[in-house]
């Protein structure tokens, strides 16, 4: 992507020895958490806790890049509760809110001066989110991926589990890290963070349009399963999910050419912990009505307990705030010395 950030084999090779494995990821507290966030990201984080130290952030500073309501604190608590209800252990992993650790904003400024406008101009998510309204979008929305790079590199994180839509932002983070290291003549100071795009549903699609991503901002609530949906809502949304008139069947290539069918089969595979091929074989020749009943049951048995745990946790806001404060202290203890050294490398007094 970058013209100036040339990847040399020694800088790429320098990483494994120098940087300890560390996971960093985050979700914005904007609107409803949905099945895409869960299957594309949060669910994949849970087993990683067994393998590496993990930091899971609620990225509230990202949430103000587009229009927002003043109930950000409650939305932040909700995301933290969703992490924990999904199986993130806040004693083992660090769970905190981005705005509570100043290194994110400070490092983002330095990175704003490293990233090139040409790189940001290529970010497809900005184009999608700004739409025709580019002139009226916030400057924050434009430099949003730079803040994301700062989130990751403030901890020198090496592994970043995200859905497919974040891949381009991760590439930018790698370019920023590399250009910083090259320009400041500090090979290997920042690692090259690896995107981890996992499972059969790296991109969960809308239930109403198999060509559009499931998203918080889609006006029709029927397009997504929210983590807060009741069992009845889940069943209704799946029953109403768009499909084509053909029964399930055919080869993988054939099913992938039927976006709505492919999406539902992918969701089933992810929830059942199996592969799409196996689900396709299991339901070969079946009508969607029967398949949908089984899919709804699987969703209710997965999402239902998470929703109930979230509800329970959200009754005690003080406890969530305590967890987030403790998480921020632990995060700051890692990020502050990295930021201090980065500022020294830049040459600040």
Active site residue 315: no
* Sites for ligand TYM among residues 48-77 (CB under 6 A): 59, 62
Active site residue 216: yes
Separation between Cα atoms, residue 107 and residue 200, nearest integer Å: 34
DSSP 8-state code for residue 213: B
Quote the least distance from Cβ 135 to ligand TYM, whole Å: 22
**With binding defined as CB under 6 A, does residue 214 bind ligand TYM?**
yes
* CA pair distance 228, 157, nearest whole angstrom: 31
* Biggest alpha carbon–alpha carbon distance for the chain: 70
Cβ proximity to ligand TYM: between 24 and 190 the closer is 24
Tokens of 12: 């790429």
Is 208 one of the binding residues for ligand TYM (CB under 6 A)?
A: no
Restricted to residues 135-194, the positions that interact with ligand TYM (CB under 6 A) are: 148, 151-152, 160, 162-163, 165-166
Binding of ligand TYM at residue 266 (CB under 6 A)?
A: no
CB of 76 to ligand TYM, least distance (A): 12
Q: Residue 226: what are its φ and ψ, rounded to 5°?
A: -90, 150
Q: Which two tokens stand for residue 62?
A: 């990202």
Closer by beta carbon to ligand TYM, 137 or else 282 = 137
- Alpha-carbon gap, residue 137 to 160, rounded angstroms: 27
Contact 248, 239 (CB under 8 A): no
215-254 footprint of ligand TYM as x/- string (CB under 6 A): ----------------------------------------
Residue 278 annotated among the catalytic residues of the structure: no
Q: Closest CB to ligand TYM among 131 and 285?
A: 131
| 83 sits near ligand TYM (criterion: CB under 6 A) | no
146: nearest Cα among 184, 172, 118:
172
Contacts of 1 (CB under 8 A, 6+ apart): 119, 122, 171, 172, 175
78 binds ligand TYM (CB under 6 A): no
Per the CB < 8 A criterion, the answer to whether 97 and 57 are in contact is: yes
Our finding on whether 129 is near ligand TYM (CB under 6 A) is: no
When asked if residue 40 is in the footprint of ligand TYM (CB under 6 A), the reply is yes
Q: Which of 124, 133, 181 is nearest to 8 (CA)?
A: 181
Q: Which of residues 6-35 bind ligand TYM (CB under 6 A)?
A: 24-28
For helices 167-183 and 9-18, angle between their N-to-C axes, nearest 10 degrees:
100
In terms of CB distance, is 40 or 90 closer to ligand TYM? 40
Query: Residue 119 burial by CB count (10 A; 0-12/13-18/19+): exposed, middle or buried?
Result: buried
* C-beta closer to ligand TYM: residue 26 or 246: 26
Residue nearest to ligand TYM (CB): 40
Q: Which of 75, 156, 213, 292 is catalytic?
A: 213
Residues tagged active-site: 129, 213, 216
Binding site for ligand TYM (CB under 6 A): 24-28, 36-37, 40-41, 59, 62, 148, 151-152, 160, 162-163, 165-166, 202-204, 213-214
């Amino acid at each position: 992507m970058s013209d100036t950030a040339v990847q040399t084999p020694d800088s790429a090779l320098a990483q494994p020895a120098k940087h300890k494995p560390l996971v960093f990821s985050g979700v914005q507290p904007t609107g409803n958490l949905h099945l895409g966030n869960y299957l594309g990201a949060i669910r994949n984080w849970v087993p990683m806790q067994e393998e590496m130290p993990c930091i899971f952030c609620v990225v509230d500073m990202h949430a103000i890049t587009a229009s927002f309501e003043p109930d950000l604190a409650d939305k932040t608590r909700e995301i933290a509760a969703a992490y924990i209800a999904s199986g993130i252990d806040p004693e083992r992993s660090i769970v905190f809110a981005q705005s509570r650790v100043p290194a994110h904003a400070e490092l983002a400024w330095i990175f704003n001066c490293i990233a090139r406008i040409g790189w940001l101009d290529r970010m497809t998510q900005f184009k999608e989110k700004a739409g025709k309204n580019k002139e009226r979008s916030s400057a924050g929305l434009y430099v949003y991926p730079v803040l994301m790079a700062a989130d990751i590199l403030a901890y020198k994180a090496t592994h970043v589990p995200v859905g497919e839509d974040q891949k381009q932002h991760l590439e930018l983070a790698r370019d920023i890290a590399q250009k910083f290291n090259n320009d400041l003549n500090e090979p290997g100071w920042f690692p090259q963070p690896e995107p981890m795009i996992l499972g059969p549903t790296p991109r969960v699609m809308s239930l109403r349009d198999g060509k559009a991503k499931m998203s918080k901002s889609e006006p029709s609530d029927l397009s997504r399963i929210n983590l807060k949906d009741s069992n009845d809502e889940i069943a209704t949304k799946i029953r109403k999910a768009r499909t084509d008139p053909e029964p399930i069947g055919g080869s993988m290539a054939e099913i992938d050419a039927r976006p709505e069918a492919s999406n539902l089969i992918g969701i089933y595979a992810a929830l059942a912990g199996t592969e799409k091929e196996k689900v396709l074989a299991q339901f070969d020749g079946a009508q969607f009505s029967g398949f949908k009943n089984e899919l709804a049951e699987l969703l209710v048995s997965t999402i239902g307990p998470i929703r109930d745990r979230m509800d329970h946790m959200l009754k005690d806001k003080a406890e969530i705030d305590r967890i987030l404060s403790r998480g921020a202290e632990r995060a700051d203890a890692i990020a502050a010395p990295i930021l201090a050294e980065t500022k020294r490398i830049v040459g600040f007094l």
